[in-house]
């Protein structure tokens, strides 16, 4: 089987899409307001990809940082499973075991070295174009777009195409 067909086959099985926040859903930069509150920018293209895929897979986040800004955006996008403040991504993943979804039916997108153990475990691993080299070497999909600038949309589109919900390119 060609690598492209193998990638589509992996994507077709996905029932749970998990994402990191900083560096994946955002560009990884943190802005602080006058009162010390953290501000983050989320790309509407990523948001629209999530809107298109959310009726076909469960959505979750495993993030090393807590954040009210992130939680507000994720709730708006109807993410059901939010794990914040967990730098150990496998420990965060274990908190979702009650869902009963096998590893091969899980996709995860991360961008840094603390994501590697979970990326190696799931059925479809992905990272943005600007992820750490250690991450880009081990994932099934490296997107063309960087984090916070359409990378999540590429993964959503792959899953939708693999499930026959978008035309193949």
Q: What's the farthest any 2 CA atoms get from each other in the chain?
A: 55
Cα–Cα distance between 130 and 136 in angstroms, integer? 9
Across the range 130-154, mean pLDDT stands at 98
pLDDT, residue 130, reads 98
pLDDT at 140 over 70: yes
Domains of the chain: 3-162 (3.40.50.1000)
Angle between helices 151-162 and 3-12 (to 10 degrees): 80
Confidence of residue 168 (pLDDT cuts 50, 70, 90): low
Q: Distance between the two ends of the chain, CA-based, in angstroms?
A: 18
| Interacting residues of 3 by C-beta distance below 8 A, sequence separation 6+ | none
Report percent pLDDT > 70 for the chain.
Answer: 99
Q: What is the mean pLDDT of residues 152-168?
A: 93
Q: Give 26's pLDDT tier (boundaries 50, 70, 90).
A: very high
Q: What is the pTM of this model?
A: 0.95
> Using one digit for the tens of pLDDT, what is the confidence trace for 66-118?
878 899 999 999 999 999 999 999 999 999 999 999 999 999 999 999 999 99
Which among 125, 128, 126 has a CA at the least distance from the CA of 147? 128
The pLDDT score that the predictor gives to residue 34 is 85
- The Cα–Cα gap between 39 and 50 comes to 21
């Amino acid at each position: 089987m060609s690598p492209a067909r193998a990638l589509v086959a992996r994507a077709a099985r996905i029932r749970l899409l998990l994402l990191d926040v900083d560096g994946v859903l955002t560009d990884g930069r943190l802005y602080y307001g006058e009162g010390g509150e953290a501000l983050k920018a989320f790309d509407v293209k990523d948001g629209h990809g999530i809107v298109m895929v959310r009726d076909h897979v469960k959505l979750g986040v495993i993030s090393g940082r807590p954040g009210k800004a992130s939680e507000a955006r994720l709730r708006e996008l109807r993410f059901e499973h939010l794990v914040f403040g967990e730098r150990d991504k496998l420990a965060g993943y274990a908190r979702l075991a009650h869902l009963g979804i096998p590893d091969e039916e899980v996709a995860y997108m991360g961008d840094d070295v603390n994501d590697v153990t979970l990326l190696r475990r799931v059925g479809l691993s992905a990272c943005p174009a600007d992820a750490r080299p250690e991450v880009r070497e081990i994932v099934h999909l490296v997107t063309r777009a960087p984090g916070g600038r359409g990378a999540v949309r590429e993964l959503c589109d792959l899953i939708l195409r693999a499930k026959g919900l978008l035309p193949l390119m």
